[in-house]
């Protein structure tokens, strides 16, 4: 019992905010981890990041309308994902530019909407909630929706797993074999939209990338088997989300006493720590051959 009370500060298991945070964090991390594996394999980390950040526009608009930001994140993320597919920009440079432009314009609108949130409707802390998340303040009524959305997103990638993998690693080969590449990409982008919305709701629109890219990058350092990487990435994400939640709760007793450190920061710190740790594991294993890792992939997709 001594060890348990050393890790979990008093009241952790009885606290309603903690229960909601653990559930929301687990759902978001599991889905983003799994979907993000394909993002990393496709070499589209920046597009994934942009989708999350532009979702801030929807989140702040939803708050202005008195809605839960989740629905705003989702609406915009689906639109952005649809736009990426409609443009169908395959050349990396043009895609990079288009993504950057949309990102800048979207965040600009988010800046205006957050200003209106703060001045017009007095939604206190709207900017922090939308951009950096408020895990302990996740609205309980949004939880069933989060679980359902997460289930749909996971089902989309799991049901199309083989096609997703082939399309991610070699779209040309996939097309040659008769895979409906655009349809597969659309399924991926829809699950990406859901994933970043869930991540934005828990750790904020800006930090959604950390959950989307960090756990997959870590998992892909530890295993060469893509199926295991998808599963492992989801589990690594959940572990990071839960560890961050525990640390945030415990941080009440850290300086400055009586205030909690933001859960988003702690979750992202754990994600990054795990990635660094995976590098150490990789070195200890002394592998000669490069595993299936982000650095190895762009050559195949470019």
Partner 1 sequence: MAGFKPGAWARRPSRVGVGAALLAAVAVAGVAAGCGADPAPGLIQAVGAENQYANVISQIGGRYVQVTAVVSNPNTDPHSFQASAQVARTLSSAELVVQNGLGYDTFMGEIEAASPNSSRRVIDVRRLLGLPDSTRNPHLWYEPSTMPRVAAAVARDLAAIDPAHRAYFEANASAFTRSLAAWSAAVAGLRADFDGVPVATTEPVADYLLQAAGLDNLTPWTFQAAVMNGVDPSAQDVSRVRALFTGHRVRAFVYNRQVTDSLTQSLLQLARQNGIPVVAVYETMPAGHDYQTWMTAEVNALRVALAEGRSTTSL
**Residues near partner 1, by CB under 8 A:** 9, 11, 14-18, 21, 66, 111, 114-115, 118-129, 134-137, 139, 248-249, 251-252, 258-260, 262
Rg (CA), the chain: 19
Least distance (Å) between residue 250 CB and partner 1: 10
Cα separations (Å) of 89 from 83, 85, 173, 251?
10, 8, 18, 45
122/178 with CB nearer partner 1: 122
Least distance (Å) between residue 128 CB and partner 1: 6
Q: Is 25 helix (H, G, I), strand (E, B) or coil?
A: helix
Token pair belonging to 90: 């395959």
16/178 with CB nearer partner 1: 16
Least distance (Å) between residue 129 CB and partner 1: 8
122/299 with CB nearer partner 1: 122
Q: Residue 186: which residues within 8 A CB-CB, separation 6 or more?
A: 85
Angstrom distance (rounded) from CA 293 to CA 301: 13
Angle, helices 45-64 vs 16-42, to 10°: value is 140
107/208 with CB nearer partner 1: 107
Least distance (Å) between residue 246 CB and partner 1: 11
Chain centre to alpha carbon of residue 73:
12
Question: Look-up: residue for tokens 């941080």?
Answer: 251
Least distance (Å) between residue 131 CB and partner 1: 9
Give the N- to C-terminal CA distance of the chain in Å, as an integer.
Answer: 54
54/81 with CB nearer partner 1: 54
Residues 132, 207: contact at Cβ < 8 Å? Answer: yes
93/141 with CB nearer partner 1: 141
Least distance (Å) between residue 235 CB and partner 1: 24
């Amino acid at each position: 019992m001594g060890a348990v009370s050393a890790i979990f500060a008093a009241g952790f298991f009885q606290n309603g905010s903690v229960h909601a945070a653990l559930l929301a964090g687990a759902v978001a991390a599991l889905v983003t981890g799994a979907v993000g594996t394909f993002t990393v394999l496709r070499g589209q980390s920046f597009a994934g990041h942009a989708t999350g950040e532009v979702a801030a526009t929807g989140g702040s608009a939803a708050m202005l309308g008195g809605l839960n930001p989740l629905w705003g994140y989702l609406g915009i993320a689906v639109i952005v994902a649809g736009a990426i597919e409609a443009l169908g920009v395959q050349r990396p440079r043009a895609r990079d530019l288009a993504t950057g432009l949309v990102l800048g314009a979207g965040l600009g609108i988010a800046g205006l909407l957050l200003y209106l949130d703060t001045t017009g409707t007095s939604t206190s802390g709207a900017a922090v909630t939308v951009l950096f998340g408020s895990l302990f303040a996740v609205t309980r009524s949004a939880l069933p929706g989060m679980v359902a959305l997460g289930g749909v997103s996971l089902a989309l990638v799991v049901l199309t797993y083989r096609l997703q993998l082939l399309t991610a690693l070699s779209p040309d080969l996939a097309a040659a074999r008769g895979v409906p590449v655009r349809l597969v990409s659309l399924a991926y982008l829809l699950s990406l939209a859901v994933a970043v919305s869930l991540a934005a709701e828990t750790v904020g629109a800006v930090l959604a990338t950390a959950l989307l890219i960090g756990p997959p990058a870590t998992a892909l350092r530890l295993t060469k088997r893509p199926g295991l990487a998808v599963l492992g990435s989801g589990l690594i994400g959940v572990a990071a989300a839960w560890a961050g939640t525990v640390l945030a709760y415990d941080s009440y007793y850290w300086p400055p006493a009586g205030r909690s450190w933001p859960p988003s920061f702690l979750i992202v710190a754990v994600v990054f720590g795990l990635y660094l740790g995976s590098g150490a594991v990789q070195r200890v294993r002394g592998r000669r051959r490069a595993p299936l890792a982000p650095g190895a992939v762009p050559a195949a997709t470019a």
